[in-house]
Structure 1
């Protein structure tokens, strides 16, 4: 059975120190329901992705709108939590279990007061000091060495992200920057500087997924879910190629096969650019550039407007922000706006196919803990 996104909303990413998780998520939840045309009574299941919200986060959110008595499932899958909630909502509809499902993504990172996010202390790499900026810095050094890239090349990714984000009223950073400013920003983990790392903050996003019968009855703008893939990492002892993230290569391959299209068909993508180096590596993993050719792809500006595929028109995590559990749903919201033609000054013209990609968490011995790839098609 086909499934469609018919409603989408999000909170502008930022710092909401006095807000609760419910306070963050209820406004976009109410907005998504209203825009979709469904009633609260029609909702058959709710899936809530978060990383740091505590017990029963989803139930605490939906009760504020009088929603209860239905399955409410909380999903913790690190940065993939929101995207996992989207997949669970899709599967609930696609299988025929429910006609209407809701995916919520929400997190509040200001609760930690700044710094790197806490990781699980039992992990052996965490015990010796591993944090995510350090992991990506090692990946960046390998890229600079193997591909002949320069720090300015990585800085160009941040420049593009800020340029795209300047058009997005939901982005945390809405001003453009230059390569010199990126390189001169505070060092975080060599060669990565502050502007090459996604900002922490708070946010929430919601999408409504329905059956074809509901879509046709309501007659509202919609996008079809063409593929929904979720992989977990595989334990690997010893050497790992840091420039070939297997979990994303495999997830993308399966998503394209499920959708019946190829990377060349994608018009717009929201990918996991938690650090500048991540975006460049994922050009290859998602099939937009051949292995070993991502530097040429970047330098030729093929990942922006006028290029081969518009990558992160929202500004991505680098500009929009990365409230962990919210990000995977926020990516789908952006693709919904793009494929229904309401993205305003950042609209990708004639966009038909969109892709979202997010990876979750660092675990010793794994490339990543999880990876979710979704492909959507405009139907209007």
Structure 2
């Protein structure tokens, strides 16, 4: 017997209809109207980015069905064996950026040299991206993602790679997409809030689900590959030891959470707080992560969400100028106070 106050809407229950959904398309349009000087070029570029993210999300979902995982038989610019999906993700990105008509230069992790779109000589933007970050985890069903940074070209830029050897402070926007159980897009514009969108597969749209993301000031979670600890510098070893033997934190050690897919580790750290680290070490003195399309975009997101991001010399990550388009760096990024602990220990060693 059903009582009078129960819903009689069938086995699916009743669904509240939200008619005020903010899609990414609507969000970008509303942002554009706030800037009287806007030409619409940036908005059009973002629509092309959005299409690339949707396409990659689709292919990742289908990867196991249509045999897109596994190696493609070639290696990328940094020596990693390429997965078939890496190649597809890269092709999708190149095509989307070319067809936007708003991009002059594209730097991709999968390409040794920048791609210059000479058919758009007056295009005003440059994009740096890692089309599918964490792809070595794909076969295991672990979340992978896309990381991107957008630069506005200086007046008189000639359309060469030197136009992109600039600090992250010059970016006009940055963010990443994570392709997990659902596709999550985190995006921020210069000096603006960090906003999180979730892909609604039924609508085929990214929906604003996490407006104005702010990360906790501190959290007892650390994310680092301790398999490399033998090669770490002494301050990094001491920092990691203090997390396991926290005398001042009531004796409770930090929780270790390391996925090995930068976007997945970054997204969790952004939501829950804590710290993600990939320090430079004696084996990789320049670090492993690329400044232009991994470290700088993440640094912009984390700083604008209230956190910090520094390199292994404790310099502010977003101010580092890459020496080449695939230049690398160590990085510590996360909650403000967690990164500050790393800085304080390093400063002690400098004395």
TM-score (norm 2): 0.29
Greater share of residues in helix: 1
